[in-house]
């Protein structure tokens, strides 16, 4: 049976390291990492995410700022807020929670965030740095950054020559994940819904990352024996066994089948999910260290 990769434990380690780094930076320089989170509208899932991010930031000791704006906020007003945060020296990370209301151009807002404060890693400058292998100075989207840390915990730091398959080509997970694996000297294939004989492609992977958003699409017999399987998917499906109208969370991988084949696998929930907020905190610490002219810690 596969090793179950405990994302909660690794995330807790990252948060603890961020806490210690925050205390050290404030003691040495007087600089306290600052994270500003902006929420527009009342999307329930976004409210949960933002609340969790703000709580973790306070727990670490950040200067934590939350701006909650009404759904009918004008695009110009949101851009003006981002501009103020860009110029605020007490803020080192800016996160605008997506999705935004339909009347606001999300791309325009994201590109208005100063690249050195773009802890989500979505600005074209950070995307370009990652794409050209400048991983030391790029901010990387938090979910693939967290997935990469889990892979290194299992496989070690030397991933040279391993075959990696990323199923999914989104700008938020699939593409940055592939670039991180490339930078680590893996041989990388990006697969997707149009890939011919997807099961055969997946069977060649030493590292298989599923990020397609389709419940339990990756079957057990798609997994190479001993492979490391990283399941980024979070899907809610009916669970009649729990009672009428009840649901449960599953990933993009059929866990019970894949667990029998894999060498190591992330569960859903409790795998990649907890890493996302932890890596956001790590990125904010990194930004604060850079702003203070100090070498950031490694996480």
Q: Is 53 a catalytic residue?
A: yes
Q: Is 97 a catalytic residue?
A: yes
Catalytic residue among 6, 8, 20, 53: 53
95 forms bridges with which residues in the sheet?
37
* Assigned token pair, 33: 């990492």
Q: How far apart are CA 242 and CA 271, in angstroms?
A: 23
Catalytic residue among 118, 120, 206, 252: 120
Beta carbons of 35 and 63 less than 8 angstroms apart: yes
- The residue assigned the tokens 């929930």 is 269
Query: Among candidates 127, 225, 103, which has minimal Cα distance to 176?
Result: 127
Q: Is 129 a catalytic residue?
A: no
Active site residues: 53, 97, 120
């Amino acid at each position: 049976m596969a090793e179950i990769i405990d994302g909660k434990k690794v995330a807790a380690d990252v948060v603890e390291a961020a806490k210690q780094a925050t205390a050290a930076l404030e003691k040495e320089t007087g600089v306290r990492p600052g994270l500003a989170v902006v929420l527009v509208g009342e999307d329930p899932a976004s409210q949960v995410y933002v609340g969790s991010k703000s709580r973790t930031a306070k727990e670490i000791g950040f200067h934590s700022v939350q701006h909650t704006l009404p759904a009918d906020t004008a695009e110009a007003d949101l851009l003006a807020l981002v501009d103020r945060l860009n110029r605020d020296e007490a803020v080192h990370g800016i996160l605008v929670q997506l999705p935004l209301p339909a009347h606001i151009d999300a791309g325009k807002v994201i590109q208005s965030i100063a690249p050195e404060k773009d802890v989500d890693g979505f600005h074209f400058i950070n995307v370009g740095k990652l794409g050209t292998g400048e991983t030391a100075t790029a901010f990387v989207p938090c979910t693939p950054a967290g997935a990469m840390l889990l892979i290194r915990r299992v496989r070690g730091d030397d991933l040279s020559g391993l075959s990696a398959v990323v199923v999914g080509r989104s700008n938020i997970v699939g593409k940055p994940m592939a670039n991180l694996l490339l930078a680590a000297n893996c041989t990388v294939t990006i697969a997707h819904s149009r890939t011919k004989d997807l099961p055969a492609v997946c069977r060649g992977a030493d590292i298989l990352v599923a990020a397609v958003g389709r419940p339990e699409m990756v079957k057990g017999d798609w997994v190479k024996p001993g492979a490391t399987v990283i399941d980024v998917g979070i899907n809610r499906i009916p669970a009649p066994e729990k009672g009428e109208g009840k649901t449960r969370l599953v990933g993009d991988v059929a866990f019970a089948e894949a667990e029998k084949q894999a060498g190591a696998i992330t569960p859903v929930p409790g795998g990649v999910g907890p890493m996302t907020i932890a890596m956001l905190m790590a990125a904010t610490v990194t930004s604060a260290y850079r702003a203070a002219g100090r070498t950031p810690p490694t996480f």
